[in-house]
Amino acid sequence: MQSIQLAGEEVVLCGDHAMVWSARRTLLVADAHFGKAAAFRARGMPVPAGTTANNLARLDALIDAHEVERVVFLGDMFHARESHAPVTLAALRAWRERRHDLQLLLVEGNHDANAGAPPADLRIELVGEPYIEGPFAFCHHPKPFMDRYVLAGHLHPAYRLSGRRESLRLPCFWLGEQVGVLPAFGDFTGTSTIAPLAGDRIYAVADGRVIAMPGERIAPPI
Amino acid sequence: MRKPRPQRGLPAALAATDHLGKQLDRKRRQESREKKLLKAEQGGLDFYAPPPTAANEPDSAPVIGPPVSIPGWFAARNWQPFSFQREVWAAMAAGKSGLLHASTGSGKTYAVWLGALAALYPNLLDAPLAEAETVKPLTILWITPMRALAADTVRALQAPLPHLGLDLRVAARTGDTAAAEKTKMNTKPPAAMVTTPESLTLLLTRADAKEQFRHVRCVIVDEWHELMGSKRGVQTQLALARLAHWQPNIMVWGLSATLGNLETARDALLGAQATEAVMVQGVEAKNIVIDTLIPKTMERFPWGGHIGIKLLPEVVEEIDKNNTTLVFTNVRSQAEIWYQRLLEARPDWAGIIALHHGSLDREIRDWVELGLKEGRLKAVVSTSSLDLGVDFLPVERVLQIGSPKGVARLLQRAGRSGHAPGRVSRATVVPTNALELIEAVAARQAAGLRHIESRKSPEKPLDVLVQHLVSMALGGGFVPDELFAEVKGAYAYRALTRAEFDWALGFVQNGGALSAYPDYHRVAPDEHGMYRVPSQMIARRHRMSVGTITADSMMHVAWLTGGRLGSIEEGFIARLKQGDAFTFGGRVLELIRVQDMTAYVKKAKRKTGIVPQWNGSRMSFSSELAESTLDVMGQMHAGHFDEPETRAVRPLIELQEKWSALPGPDNLVMEAIASREGHHLFVYPFAGRMVHIGLASLLGWRAARDQPGTFSISMNDYGFELFSAQAFDWKKLIREGLLSEKDLLKDVLDSLNASELAQRRFREIARVSGLVFQGFPGAPKSTRQVQASSSLFYEVFRKHDRGNLLLSQAEREALEQELEIGRLSETLKRMRSRKLILTKPPRFTPFSFPLMVERLREAVSTESMSSMVERLLGELEQAADLE
């Protein structure tokens, strides 16, 4: 966990791939990809059930630890059309019933557009990007928006930390001058290596710890 | 004025011949046309490689007269059949299966090929055919491990046919065959088909496979020694079991190099049929010569290192003396370095010396192979990529840079030379450090005693079984009871239990009874209980991934201006920055950008670049060679310096004995040395570097149970070093069970990052069992919705399906193959049985010095990920301070 200043606000970077905007009691997660395993199974790829339950348990832990009142999904909450599978939705509905006071906001991502709108009884407010609030613009795609600081997902960013002999790829928060990208939250999601610009702030996640990467060491992009 | 530009896509040496460039351009245009065709036709797994060039056609054969008998054809070419050839012909004419083995290549092809024809027409062994005969249906299958060999094989098989009066069409069907050609072959198959294990399996996924293979009477598996140790060999075994299920009388023959366990090789190939089979020994090269390029002065010769460029002048001299020389290296980086240094030493050799290794583009390799056959090349620097294949007749000389690592490999490489009648096959070891002189003697003695390495068939790999189940569901469907019996007929699965089979079946059917995989099916029974693949998409995806048994994440290397150079591991490119220079294909390249799995490069202005270290390219030191090396040291300890090599290293050996002790067959030498840096312990079990990694971590971990990560470790094939800041009482630790086998497995797993090793093994398993899917060529992005990396699958299974047997397989493979746990435990036992000599030398000895140097290059860490992050950050800070 690491508390930092972003666009004049205090935010907390969590080791479980989420961000907390303390002043607004809001938890931000990107790329949850609910039902990805179900979509795989429907297409003949054996992925065991259990990822949805695990994702929800992690959300619960974050919600309780930071006492938030709202969760904002920065796009790609659902993976594909087949993700609205009975097992996945049943788990989500049960969770929603336990968390009935929680506000849920989904900024539509590219996967959500394919998957279709979430069922109404989950009571998720679906909005297009950008969704402006305070100094921030909540988006899915990491593109600058006017004078706001964009918080986005989509990239599943990972940072490559290279030493003399070996190198590690670590999921990371990638905070640029105008745009900040969150690591993917979902349990069964991959990462892609980023090529940051000089001056960007990178916070990598290793073993649940959030560790700042030294800015001046960041390699120029290829 | 601009300088003339180098020919695109070719190493400097190749670009020198102008007509070649044009030829390749023409081929490239043809390729791109065929590639488009291929996409349109969507015909299974098709990696593209160019068709053989016109220049590849066989030389003018004798004029075709009236039909002759098989011995008559030999006589017409002034050949005398070897007795082993007659033996094979007779056995095949009698319908027997078997294995033919020999240490060199000569005559094996015509033994089994003419034998297969004799099986069809037994009279051919005595007299010409009364009238010309036509063979129509697919009757003979010829399986080769490399599709690149298929074209050459087809030509060799075709040669005798017109003379024998046989109208029998021979054709290749591999991943390289154009889709249109394949479609034609489906309706009109050739009578003899040359194919690879992957393409054969792909044919078996056709719904009408049984009909297609109905007339097959004989299957020949070439280079079986190369296949048998791998999962491709298991795939071959399963395909043979299927053919034998349809045709119980099918004849199967294998061709193999000499191995230490030929009976096993035969059984693995023939499975249930092995009982009736014969074993035939081909020409044994009694006069294979193994010698050494001995440095003129030993004083300045290095004790350690593995590049060995010190002997460059001698190597140049050897190449100069002969018409054609093959220079074998053990790793690609070494091949790159040697090629460059040879060109620097003799710039006049540009265009007549070449480089050949597995990462170079197919057409570049084809050009090199053709040049060898035609005798146009003076020398080729190569890795094991030239170990296999059709013989290159004009090769006069074989040089082996560095340790041969294994007896069989050295014999096979030697067999590359001296094919002309009356010549001997000869391999000359070029030592890269002083101790390798001893290995050359060891290899010679082991070869003389026929102490040759064995190969093992993998034991019931479930990933291959999972793939096979889907293949069989496609290939006409299956009934579980019958298929279980059939699969057990394959040697690798002779001990498969019904529970394991049922697990694999469950895994493709519905995820299995015990775990939760709702709404998932890859295969499902129809109303008659026949298991089939219910979805076209799954069928398509499966056919695409059959055969991608080995494929690391490779990136293309291409000129910015167009033209491909080859491929390189993604991990290497990822460590480079824009503008960095690296050496590839014999030239120095500058990285411009990376895009769509391609690294775009241009020629670098700099003269030197980083030489990529290809992963997994290290060969392991065979135990046969290790034993023999210890024996040679025993001889030297007893005062025998009878060989030129041992005479040359004598001063070094005497120094070792004076400062410490000489490792030998009856002792275990350990050296404890204190230096300014800290405390070093050197141990010499001679068990190969893989075993030493495990041993070193184990000993380090046991010595300091409460302080993990205290040791840094280095290892080579002879021994290992444990380096620590504090001193340890090793004698006492050994008395207290440092070398004990008690809790061995647990301690090894605790001492190493075993889960990372297992995860690495899982990459291949995920690919073979069809979890990881590379995507259709040119497919829309939507297919990416079912793409996930093997590490994601590994994690999700570990979290949510811990009982998944593919995970256990990964762990087992990591232990058996990465750590060689069996050899490790054997080594421990032997270390305990030998006399322990612990010395305290005044300075680094000839044996410890190479390890000391090695430590600067490699280390094994046992730390957690976050502490590794801290350490890497520390390294970065340090590097920054130095700038």
pLDDT in tens, B67-91: 899 999 989 888 888 889 999 999 9
The answer to whether residue A12 scores a pLDDT higher than 90 is: yes
| 3-class secondary structure, B208 | coil
Distance CA B224, CA B258 (A): 11
Contact B593 A40 (CB under 8 A): no
Contact A190 B880 (CB under 8 A): no
CA angle B447, B448, B453 (to 5 degrees): 30
Domain ranges (residues) in chain B: 1-41, 43-281, 289-448, 462-548+757-812, 554-603
Distance CA B724, CA B701 (A): 12
Contact B869 A168 (CB under 8 A): yes
Which residues of chain B lie closer than 8 angstroms to A49, CB-CB?
516-518, 800
Closest CA to B697 of B716, B714, B673: B714
Distance CA A37, CA A45 (A): 9
pLDDT at A204: 92
DSSP letter string, B276-308: G-EEEE----TT-EEEE---S-STTS-SS-S--
DSSP-derived pairing of the beta strands A201-206 and A209-213: antiparallel
Which residues of chain A lie closer than 8 angstroms to B518, CB-CB?
38, 41, 49, 85-87
Contact A79 B785 (CB under 8 A): yes
pLDDT at B496: 96
Q: Is B772 on the interface with A (CB under 8 A)?
A: no
User: What is the pLDDT averaged over residues B511-533?
Assistant: 84
Dihedral angle of Cα B851, B852, B853, B857, to the nearest 10 degrees: 80
A38 located within any domain: yes
User: What is the pLDDT averaged over residues B477-485?
Assistant: 96
Which residue of chain A has the CA closest to B578? A222
pLDDT at B781: 40
Domains B43-281 and B289-448 share a fold: yes
The answer to whether residue B799 scores a pLDDT higher than 50 is: yes
Please name the helix (run of DSSP H) or strand (run of DSSP E) that holds residue B806, with its range, or none: helix B805-813
A88 located within any domain: yes
- Alpha carbon of B521: minimum distance to chain A alpha carbons (Å): 5
pLDDT at B677: 75
Distance CA B715, CA B727 (A): 20
Q: Which domain holds residue A148?
A: 2-217
Q: For A51-91, what is each residue's pLDDT tens digit?
A: 999 999 999 999 999 999 999 999 999 999 988 988 899 99
Q: What does the mean pLDDT of chain B come to?
A: 81
Q: For B326-378, what is each residue's pLDDT tens digit?
A: 999 988 888 888 999 999 999 999 889 999 887 787 778 888 888 888 888 99
Contact A39 B785 (CB under 8 A): yes
Q: How confident is the model at residue A215 (pLDDT cuts 50, 70, 90)?
A: low
- In this complex, which of B521, B571, B873 lies closest to A44 when CB atoms are compared? B521
pLDDT at B619: 67
Count of domains forming chain A = 1
A222 located within any domain: no
User: What is the pLDDT averaged over residues B552-557?
Assistant: 68
Closest CA to B407 of B449, B438, B441, B451: B451
A78-92, B191-205, B747-761 — which is least confidently predicted?
B747-761
Distance CA B84, CA B281 (A): 7
- Alpha carbon of A167: minimum distance to chain B alpha carbons (Å): 8
- In this complex, which of B511, B574, B577 lies closest to A46 when CB atoms are compared? B511
Q: How far is CA B444 from CA B117, B288, B622, in A?
A: 39, 9, 14
Closest CA to B753 of A212, A172, A210, A166: A166
- In this complex, which of A39, A45, A221 lies closest to B771 when CB atoms are compared? A45
- Alpha carbon of B738: minimum distance to chain A alpha carbons (Å): 29
A89-98, B44-53, B333-342, B633-642 — which is least confidently predicted?
B44-53
The gap from C-alpha A195 to its chain's centroid, in whole angstroms, comes to 19
- In this complex, which of A51, A207, A222 lies closest to B796 when CB atoms are compared? A51
Q: Is B507 on the interface with A (CB under 8 A)?
A: yes
Contact B876 A163 (CB under 8 A): yes
Q: What is the CATH number of domain B289-448?
A: 3.40.50.300
pLDDT at A168: 79
Contact A44 B591 (CB under 8 A): no
pLDDT at B44: 28
The answer to whether residue A201 scores a pLDDT higher than 80 is: yes
User: What is the pLDDT averaged over residues B2-31?
Assistant: 41
Q: Is B79 on the interface with A (CB under 8 A)?
A: no
The answer to whether residue B459 scores a pLDDT higher than 50 is: yes
User: What is the pLDDT averaged over residues B44-49?
Assistant: 27
Cα-Cα-Cα-Cα dihedral sign, residues A112, A116, A117, A120: negative
Contact A41 B880 (CB under 8 A): no
| Per-residue tokens: B883 | 């700038």
Which residue of chain A has the CA closest to B858? A165
pLDDT at B107: 80
Burial class (CB in 10 A: 0-12, 13-18, 19+), B66: exposed
Distance CA A14, CA B711 (A): 34
* Residue B349, Ramachandran bin (φ over 0: left; ψ between -120 and 50: alpha; else beta): alpha
The answer to whether the CB of A11 falls within 8 A of the CB of A66 is: no
Distance CA B706, CA B272 (A): 53
Q: For B400-422, what is each residue's pLDDT tens digit?
A: 998 888 998 888 888 878 765 56
pLDDT at B241: 95
* Number of Cβ within a 10 Å radius of residue B476: 17
The answer to whether residue B575 scores a pLDDT higher than 90 is: no
Place of tokens 């050197």: B682
Place of tokens 């695109």: B8
CATH code, A129: 3.60.21
Please name the helix (run of DSSP H) or strand (run of DSSP E) that holds residue B353, with its range, or none: strand B353-356
* Number of Cβ within a 10 Å radius of residue B468: 29
pLDDT at B7: 33
User: What is the pLDDT averaged over residues B262-272?
Assistant: 90
- Which B residues in the span 579-618 are in contact with A, Cβ-Cβ below 8 Å? 591, 593-594
Q: How confident is the model at residue B704 (pLDDT cuts 50, 70, 90)?
A: confident
The answer to whether the CB of B600 falls within 8 A of the CB of B559 is: yes
A174 located within any domain: yes
Which residues of chain A lie closer than 8 angstroms to B576, CB-CB?
222
Please report how many Cα atoms fall inside a 13 Å half-sphere around the Cα of residue A217, on the Cβ side.
19
- Alpha carbon of B795: minimum distance to chain A alpha carbons (Å): 8
- In this complex, which of A41, A48, A217 lies closest to B519 when CB atoms are compared? A41
- Alpha carbon of B528: minimum distance to chain A alpha carbons (Å): 22
pLDDT at B681: 93
pLDDT at B125: 92
Contact B873 A161 (CB under 8 A): yes
Q: For B104-122, what is each residue's pLDDT tens digit?
A: 666 888 999 999 999 999 9
How many A×B Cβ pairs under 8 Å?
138
Contact A49 B517 (CB under 8 A): yes
Q: How confident is the model at residue B274 (pLDDT cuts 50, 70, 90)?
A: low
* Number of Cβ within a 10 Å radius of residue B474: 23
Contacts of residue B506, Cβ cutoff 8 Å, sequence gap at least 6: B512, B513
- In this complex, which of B571, B801, B872 lies closest to A48 when CB atoms are compared? B801
User: What is the pLDDT averaged over residues A3-24?
Assistant: 95
The answer to whether residue B861 scores a pLDDT higher than 60 is: no
Distance CA B130, CA B69 (A): 10
pLDDT at B306: 63
The answer to whether residue B830 scores a pLDDT higher than 50 is: yes
Q: What is the CATH number of domain B43-281?
A: 3.40.50.300
A45 located within any domain: yes
Q: How confident is the model at residue B570 (pLDDT cuts 50, 70, 90)?
A: low
Q: How many residues does chain B have?
A: 883
